[in-house]
Structure formats: C-alpha cells, structure tokens
C-alpha cells in the first residue's frame, strides 16, 4: 500500500469530517485496501464539465466535502470575475440521484457563505430548467447536481456560466485552476447564510413551461389529433412532472406514463442503466405501447436533457430510433413548419456537432437556412448561440447522443422541449396521413439514406493511453485512402485545425478550438470520425454512411449495414 494513500485517508479521520465519513474511512483502512486505494489515490478531478464520480468517502469520490471544495473554488472564480459587484447570484438544481439534495444544499451553503445569492430549487428539476433559471434570474453562474445517465453509483456537478451554458474556454480552465487551489475542507466557508437563499418552487416551473409552450408550431393540428396515443417514461427521473404537463398543456389527451418508472428512485430499480440510448432502458415503455397500440414512445434520462423515442415501422412494429434519426426528424419538422408558416427570413440557422449526421445540413440547405458545426458537446452549441445572439435566429439543432434543442431561452440540450416538439411532429405527420417513421422514410427518399454506427474501444491504464495515442498518430500519418469502395476526398484534422481536399491539395483552416479528432469524408457523402474520449479510457469511431437519393430504401439499408460492419472491422482492428 502506498504510504501517501494511507496518510491521505488518516487525514479524513479528523474532527472536520462527520462521524459517518470517519467510520467509512476507518473501515477501509482496516478491511478494504482496494477500496481505500480507489478512494484516495488521487483527488476527484474537476474537469471542463465539472465533477463526476462514484459516491463515497475519500478524495477521489463524490461527497459533501469534495463538492464543497469544488464550490469554494467556483465561488472564488465568480467573485474574481465580477470585482466590486454586490449582487452576485447563482442558481442551483439537482436530479433524482442518491445524495443529490445533500450535494445541492452544501453547494447553497458554500455559495451563500461567500456572499453569493442562491436560487435553490425546492426539489428535483431537469438540467435544462437550471440552464433556463440562470438566464431568467440573470445569475452569474449555475450548478446542476447530476450524473446524467451514468449508473446509480455515480453523481456529478455541472458548472454553468451567466449565459446559461456549461463552461467553455477560458472559463472552464480558469475555474479548474481555482478549484485546484482548494486542497482541504478547512479552506471552505461552510456557514450557510439563509438570508441569501431563495427557494424556487412550482411557480417557476410555470414560467419555464410557458416558454416551452411558446415554441409550438402546430397547436391547431394537435387539436385535430389530440387522441394520438403517447407512452412516456422518465426512467425514475426529473421529467416525471414537466413532460406530461407540457404535453397536456399542448392538448394531447392520451399520454400514458410507465407507472413503475414514475417513482423517483436514485437506485433505478427497473433498469440496469437509466440511459435511453440502451434498448433495455426503454423496454417497459415499449411493452406498454404494444399493449395500448400507441403511436409514439418517449423516454427521458434522469436529468431530462436527453430523449430516446420508438415509432411504428411499416410492419406496425415498434423500432427504436438512434440519436441521428431523431435529430433528423426533429430538425426536419422545425424547418418544414418554419417554412410553411412563413417564418423564414434568411437570418435563421441550425447547429449540430461534428459527429452528428450530415443529413441535418442537407435538409437545411434546401430551406436556405445557415448551418454551423461545433465540437462534440452541447456546451459548444450553446456557445455558438451566444456568439450569434442578436444577429441571427436559432431554429434548433442537436447531437447524435440524443440531445436536442429548439429556441434559445435554454442553453443546453432540453428533453422537455424535445419531447413536446416530437409529439407535435407526430400530430403534423398524422394530418398528412403519415407516421413519424413514414416521414423519416420521406426524408431518406429526398435527401439520401444515412446510416450510423458507433464503435468504442476501451484501452485501460497507461499502456491503453499510449495505444490510443499511437492509433491517432497512425491515422494521421497513414490515413485510409478509401472506405468500402468509396474514395476519401477530404480529411479534417481538428488538432491541426485544418481541412485538406485530397482532390486539389487545398488546405482550409478550421475555425474551431483544437481537439484531437480526425474526420474522413468520401466522394459518396459518407463520414468517419475518430476521437479519443475526454472522460473515459476509450477511443470512439463514428461511422456515417450514405446511399444516394432514389435508391430503394430497403435495398439501400441492407447495403449500408454491410458497409458499416466492414468499415468498422477494417478501421478498429
């Protein structure tokens, strides 16, 4: 056992830690050297997205002390960036996870103890409502206690700036530097100032829901198709009240919730993982939809910023859509309705991440709507919206990892907005005598079929890190020249911040922050992205292959499935 680990652990036996924490640490010292090592071998890292980790006692765990130290560093930075300002304020919210209320309250304690006014929600709320609160209450920052769709053992802490978006450069790195200065709980001011804490209740929900309602594009069509059967599950999380409520306010009368998963429970007893990307997480909802002969299934993750959906195919069987397919339906509906309602003026735009399907751009081109790519992570979409504020109108956008947004009053992915607009899109489709699946097929017929596949390779330890670096270097020095018979015509290297046209040799600068990402584009419109994960010991391969418009869909799907399998086998070996 490393002596430094033992010394770190013994420091947690002092009186500045509560009795339960001291007991847990003593038990590890006496009986569990492996857990002791995992809990104390390092400090839990405050990364560019905040904190995320397994809950428990120790320097490398999520607990009230690591949360408090992070909050002290964040409070110091807020004050540093606003010298002389006397009415500093933050919004604080939390999700359904175990210990989330305690972590939110210690955040409020420390912020208020540092003279910063706190708007604290009275109970669990979706992440996007926290983003909205930062903007609505004109706060200087915000904190959301959540680990999103991670397993039950985890919790997290997302930091937001005054625009309602998660921290981006330079704030992300600067906050990390301030947090790293707080090395011990004795450096934290814990003394809560109750006079500086204002509780936000259901009245604030109404302000938010009114804004969501205001995005509606098809209320008249919902009236005609109010009987559409919708099955919804919050997977034990924060969408449980607001999603059914906004659907009701819009006029949908047949919304059926999965009762077992309406129960708030941080142990997520009905699923292995509360992630709507995984079929198992949506199984109860799909089964209920089959029993009811429903039209649409929607599931939100625990903090209700992402949504997964299932629709009926042409065989009347429910199929799960991936994030790119849902993003395509979402953006297509927005573009079509904005066009049909005469709302397009030439100043509108959409945003997607670089790993998201190019289909979104193809659709936007038809409507002469401007298009922007950003790095992976919704905070970059928020940053793009901020940069164009007052100049252009954001219609909507999203990312392949099930996060979507319409309107600009929230600056993070929003499943409350997304579910309400997807349900609207179903009513709009029904008015044309179609299902959402048929609309998706129409999109493929017009713009070409796009199919996607994500492959993640886990490479643990120091040797794994080196192996990932070597793989990226190999792709840079000896890139593939073709993918499944399609010649590669462009390579984008986001680390070098340049795109090279292999047909002409022309090099074009990429106006995005540096990132260790490579993309290969083929002459047929396919795209392969290679990207090391920023949070896990993984390297990710995003495959998006295209069949031209006019090819029979069924035939094209089979062809692309084979191409995807072979491409994945070739590039990831």
Could you say which of 148, 328, 401, 544 is catalytic?
148
Residue 360: how many CB atoms within 10 A of its CB? 27
Gap between the Cα atoms of 326 and 558, Å rounded: 20
Q: Which residues contact residue 293 at a Cβ distance below 8 angstroms, ignoring those fewer than 6 apart? A: 229
Closest C-alpha to 325, from 557, 63, 106: 557
Q: Closest Cα partner for 296 from 415, 443, 423, 420? A: 423
Distance in angstroms (rounded) separating the CA atoms of residues 122 and 197: 11
CB-side exposure of 422: number of CA atoms within 13 Å?
A: 36
Q: Annotated catalytic, 148?
A: yes
Helix (H, G, I), strand (E, B) or coil at 513: coil
Cα–Cα dist 228/437, whole Å: 15
* Gap between the Cα atoms of 377 and 534, Å rounded: 11
Six token digits for residue 544? 């998006």
* Residue pair 110/120 in contact by the 8 Å Cβ criterion: no
End-to-end CA distance of the chain: 37
Taking CA 258 as the corner, what is the angle to CA 301 and CA 200, rounded to the nearest 5 degrees? 55
Block residue for tokens 């010292």: 29
CA 538 to CA 531: how far, in whole Å? 9
Q: Measured between alpha carbons, how far is residue 356 from residues 341, 376, 490 in Å? A: 27, 9, 17
461: left (phi over 0), alpha (psi -120 to 50) or beta: left
Taking the C-alpha atoms of residue 116 and residue 77, their distance in angstroms, rounded to an integer, is: 12
What's the CA gap between 423 and 250, in Å, rounded? 10
Question: Which residue shows structure tokens 């699923």?
Answer: 271
Secondary structure of 531-546 in the HEC alphabet? EECCCCCEEEEEEEEE
- What the block records as the tokens of 50 is 């905040």
Tokens of 271: 């699923």
Which string of b and e fits 84-98 if b means at least 16 CB within 10 Å? eeeebbbbbbbbbbe
CA-nearest of 57, 51, 82, 59 to 5 is: 59
At residue 233, φ and ψ (nearest 5 deg) are -135, 135
Are 366 and 336 within 8 A, CB to CB?
Answer: no
Helix then strand then coil, % of the chain, to nearest 5: 40, 25, 35
Distance, CA of 83 to CA of 129 (rounded, Å): 28
Do the Cβ atoms of 222 and 427 come closer than 8 Å? yes
Q: How far apart are CA 168 and CA 247, in angstroms?
A: 33
| Residues designated catalytic | 148
């Amino acid at each position: 056992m490393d002596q430094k680990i033992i010394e770190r652990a013994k420091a947690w036996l002092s009186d500045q830690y509560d009795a339960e924490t001291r007991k847990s640490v003593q038990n590890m010292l006496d009986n569990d050297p492996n857990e002791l090592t995992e809990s104390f071998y390092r400090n839990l890292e405050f990364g560019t997205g905040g904190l995320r980790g397994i809950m428990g006692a120790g320097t490398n765990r999520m607990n009230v002390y690591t949360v408090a130290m992070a909050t002290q560093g964040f409070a110091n930075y807020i004050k540093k960036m606003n010298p002389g300002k006397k009415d500093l304020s933050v919004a604080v919210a939390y999700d359904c996870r175990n210990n989330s209320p305690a972590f939110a309250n210690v955040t409020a304690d420390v912020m208020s103890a540092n003279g910063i006014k706190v708007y604290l929600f009275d109970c669990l709320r979706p992440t996007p409502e926290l983003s909205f609160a930062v903007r609505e209450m004109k706060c200087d920052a915000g904190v959301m206690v959540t680990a999103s769709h991670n397993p039950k053992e985890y919790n997290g802490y997302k930091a937001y700036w005054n625009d309602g978006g998660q921290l981006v450069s330079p704030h992300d790195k600067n906050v990390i530097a301030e947090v790293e200065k707080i090395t011990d709980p004795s450096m934290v001011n814990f003394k809560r100032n109750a006079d500086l804490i204002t509780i936000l209740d259901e009245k604030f929900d109404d302000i938010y829901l009114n804004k969501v309602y205001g995005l509606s594009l098809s209320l008249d069509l919902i009236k005609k198709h109010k009987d559409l059967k919708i099955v919804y599950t919050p997977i034990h999380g924060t969408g449980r009240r607001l999603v059914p409520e906004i659907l009701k306010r819009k006029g949908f009368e047949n919304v059926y919730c999965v009762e077992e998963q309406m129960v708030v429970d941080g142990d997520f007893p009905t699923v292995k993982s509360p992630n709507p990307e995984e079929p198992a997480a949506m199984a109860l909802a799909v089964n209920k939809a089959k029993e009811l002969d429903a039209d649409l299934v929607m599931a939100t993750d625990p903090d209700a910023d992402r949504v997964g959906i299932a629709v009926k195919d042409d065989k009347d069987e429910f199929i799960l859509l991936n994030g790119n397919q849902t993003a395509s339906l979402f953006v297509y509906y927005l573009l079509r309705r904005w066009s049909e309602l005469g709302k397009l003026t030439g100043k509108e735009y959409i945003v997607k991440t670089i790993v998201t399907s190019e289909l979104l751009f193809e659709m936007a081109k038809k409507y002469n709507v401007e298009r922007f790519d950003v790095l992976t992570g919704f905070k970059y979409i928020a940053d793009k919206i901020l940069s164009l504020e007052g100049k252009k109108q954001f219609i909507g956008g999203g990312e392949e990892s099930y996060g979507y947004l319409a309107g600009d009053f929230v600056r993070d992915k929003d499943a409350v907005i997304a579910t309400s607009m997807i349900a609207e899109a179903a009513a709009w489709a029904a008015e044309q005598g179609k299902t959402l699946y048929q609309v998706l097929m129409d999109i493929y017929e017009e713009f070409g079929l796009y199919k996607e596949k994500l492959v993640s390779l886990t490479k643990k330890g120091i040797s794994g890190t080196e192996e990932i670096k070597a793989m990226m270097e190999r792709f840079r020095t000896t890139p593939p020249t073709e993918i499944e018979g399609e010649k590669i015509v462009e390579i984008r290297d986001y680390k070098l911040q340049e795109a090279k046209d292999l047909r002409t040799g022309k090099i074009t600068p990429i106006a995005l922050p540096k990132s260790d990402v490579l993309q290969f584009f083929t002459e047929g419109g396919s795209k392969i992205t290679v990207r090391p994960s920023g949070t896990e010991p993984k390297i990710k391969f995003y495959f998006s292959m295209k069949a031209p418009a006019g090819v029979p869909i069924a035939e094209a799907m089979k062809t692309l499935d084979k191409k995807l399998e072979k491409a994945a086998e070739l590039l990831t070996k």
